[in-house]
Amino acid sequence: MTAPVEAEFALDPEREYEIVTGQPILKEAAGARAGGITARLGARLGHYIEANKMGAVYAANTTFTIGNDQRLPDLAFVSSERFPPEGEPEGIWEIAPDLAIEVISPNEIYGEVQNKMRDYFNAGVKQVWIVAPEHRIVTVYRSPVEPTVFSEDQELASEDLLPGFRCRLSEIFKSPKSKKSE
């Protein structure tokens, strides 16, 4: 769950914050399972995007301008057509990504993730993927009211935004095991 940061406290430079309606909102650590899922999905998505020279994938510490706010999606994709001539900005992306991915961690409230999804679409994001580790599903939104749900026994695909991209969700949700348990 994200928590508003009280104005009387100094912001911790070691922590990450989203700026929502002018207020800093602490972005809580995701936890190991959500972090692993994010890394596995990001690796596959990044490999596909790079191999097809489509743009770039960004991690959770990348800030994007979303309307009047600043958001840090867990993963994001920006198509090469939208890059400025000088390339990636040094700091904040002043545009919304083409794709924003949110991996729901145990401390997040689903309603807050839904609000963030609506903000993304209002800012021009083409798709939002919401990954629910607890239920082992990925919901691909092409609009706030147009979801497609993929379960762990399916391949994640998004032909309209990422033609040819396929990702077995069983591999994304598979938790690595200890060598001791083999």
In this predicted structure, what is the pLDDT of residue 114? 87
pLDDT by residue, tens only, the chain of 182 residues: 444 444 444 666 666 766 777 776 767 667 788 899 999 999 999 999 999 999 999 998 899 999 899 999 999 999 999 999 999 999 999 999 999 999 988 777 777 888 899 999 999 999 999 999 999 999 999 999 999 999 999 999 999 999 999 999 999 999 887 666 55
Residue 134: other Cβ atoms inside 10 A: 10
Specify the pLDDT at position 97.
98
* Structure confidence at residue 1 (pLDDT): 43
pLDDT at 6: 43
- Taking the C-alpha atoms of residue 118 and residue 144, their distance in angstroms, rounded to an integer, is 6
Write the CB contacts of 39 (distance below 8 Å, at least 6 apart in sequence). none
d(CA 44, CA 28): 24
Task: Report the SS3 class of residue 28.
Answer: coil
Nearest to 48 by CA among 1, 99, 107: 99
Sign of CA dihedral 50, 54, 56, 60: negative
Strands 17-20 and 127-132: unpaired
CA–CA separation, 2 and 60 (whole Å):
14
pLDDT of residue 7: 46
Alpha-carbon distance of 157 to 182, in angstroms, equals 32
Structure confidence by residue, pLDDT tens digits, 88-115 = 999 999 999 999 999 988 777 777 888 8
